Amino acid sequence: MSRFEELAERVERLLVRHEEMQRRCAELERQLAEVTQERDGLHARLVAARQRVDALLERLPVGDGSSGSSA
């Protein structure tokens, strides 16, 4: 095999590897977008839950301290 043929073969292997890496990169970008969307949804749910808890806490009666336990 001539030097040129060896070089051509190596270039072909590099091109195949490059295409594989591009596909993998696109898949990772898709996964990142999916996980980011999931994270954003969970964050929105957390904020809503906090708001509900805060609203419930505001509705609790404020004690005058006379019926509480002494420590």
Question: Which tokens sit at 60?
Answer: 């609790």
Predicted local confidence at residue 65, as pLDDT: 60
Q: Is 68 exposed, middle or buried (0-12, 13-18, 19+ CB in 10 A)?
A: exposed
pLDDT per position as a tens digit, 13-65: 999 999 999 999 999 999 999 999 999 999 999 999 999 999 999 999 987 66
Predicted local confidence at residue 1, as pLDDT: 84
Question: Which tokens sit at 4?
Answer: 């040129």
**Is residue 8 classed as helix, strand or coil in its secondary structure?**
helix
Stated pTM of the model: 0.66
DSSP letter for each residue of 26-51:
HHHHHHHHHHHHHHHHHHHHHHHHHH
Does a structural domain hold residue 7? yes
Query: What confidence tier does 68 reach under pLDDT thresholds 50, 70, 90?
Result: low
Does a structural domain hold residue 65? no
Does a structural domain hold residue 39? yes
Does a structural domain hold residue 48? yes
